[in-house]
Structure 1
Amino acid sequence: MNKKTHKLLSWIIVILWLLIIFSLSSQPAKDSNRLSESVTKQVVKATQKVSIPNIQIEPRRNALKKLNDVIRKYAHVAVYLVLGILVINAFVISGIKGCKAFFFSLMFCFLYAATDEIHQVFVPGRGAKATDVLIDGIGAFTGIIIYELIFKICQKTKTESSSKRL
């Protein structure tokens, strides 16, 4: 695959991921909550750690609601972690490296998170939260750091293997 195709493909993947995020953010609050509740129920079912047999129903519902809220926040982190990795990869493949790639990637992800929150103002039952932008930014930052660490390890391994051949 030539460089131009590789660059184009990396940005197409970023755009597809942005569309997935947009699609998830476009769900009305009830649909979004229903989706996360089904994930929460699967987590509870898989771990059986939230199941406390001798308590009343109301405290149990509160525990499930709190767990659901936590899972929703972790979903923000996970989705933007992937975005961070995809965006810095696209910048690096496009020839932007080092601190510039790091900064541009982080700003790109923060700006998208902010515009995504603004978009949610127009979705029934949803709203914009600055804390969600921060959580999204933390996810993106983590993804970018992971990418950088893996990139440095790969570069070091590549350098060591080529110096051994000499």
Structure 2
Amino acid sequence: MFLKNNLDNKLKNWLWVFLWAGVIFFFSSQPDLKSGLPNQWDFILRKLAHIAEYAVLTLFLIRALKEHRLNRRQLLFLAMILALLYAASDEYHQTFVLGRQGVVRDILIDGAGVFLTCLFTKFRYSFNTRL
């Protein structure tokens, strides 16, 4: 019974990762997304969305990887690498979408969300022995 529950938790946690990756993919597939705000505000909103969507992806990755008995350093490093690889693949994907372009700057902005989430997680759990 314990093994089945553990497997169910692993699958559920990875399901959230893949669902969120699908949400990111969906929005990246939309040609020329605009918020309707003036240009400078639209730019800021879009970049904040990049940070937020990759922060959430990183949280889901951390939660899924937690089930695999990694130490904290390995867990955060692997979550960071996987999220950044997805960010790079997402920018590459955008080169095939009409009205979109892949930009290295956006990978760095996505990386800010990834890094801040890992930093928050490390800080939050530095007072707690378990992650």
Counterpart of 1:17 in structure 2 is 20
The superposition leaves residues 49-105 of structure 1 with CA deviations (integer Å, 9 ceiling, x where unpaired) of xxxxxxxxxxxxxxx210110111001001101111111111112222311111111
* Aligned with residue 83 of structure 2, among 109, 116, 122: 109
> Which residue does the alignment assign to 1:74?
48
Q: Work out the percentage of aligned pairs sharing the same amino acid.
A: 35
**Post-superposition offset of 1:7:** 1.1
Question: Corresponding residue for 2:66?
Answer: 92
CA positional deviation for 1:150:
3.0
Q: Secondary structure at the match of 1:101?
A: helix
Q: TM-score, normalised by structure 1?
A: 0.71
Partners in 1 of 2:47 and 2:93 — Cα distance?
Answer: 18
- Give the unaligned 5+ runs of structure 2: none
Q: 2:96 aligns with which of 122, 130, 133?
A: 122
Contact 1:117–1:129 (CA under 8 A) maintained in structure 2: yes
Task: Measure the CA separation in 1 of the matches of 2:112 and 2:70.
Answer: 22
SS of equivalent to 1:119: helix
Computing the radius of gyration over CA atoms, which structure comes out larger, 1 or 2?
Answer: 1
Normalized per residue, which structure has more helix? 1
Count how many residue pairs are aligned between Structure 1 and Structure 2.
Answer: 127
Stretches of structure 1 lacking an aligned partner (at least 5 in a row): 41-63, 159-166
- Aligned residue among 20, 26, 30 for 1:27: 30
Give the secondary-structure state (helix, strand or coil) at the position aligned to 2:69.
coil
What is the deviation of 1:147? 2.5
Runs of 4+ displaced beyond 4 Å: none
What TM-score does the superposition give when structure 2 sets the normalisation length? 0.89
Q: CA deviation at 1:5?
A: 1.0
Alignment partner, residue 113 of structure 2: 139
How much is the aligned-residue C-alpha RMSD, in angstroms? 1.6
Contact 1:26–1:120 (CA<8 Å) still a contact in 2?
yes
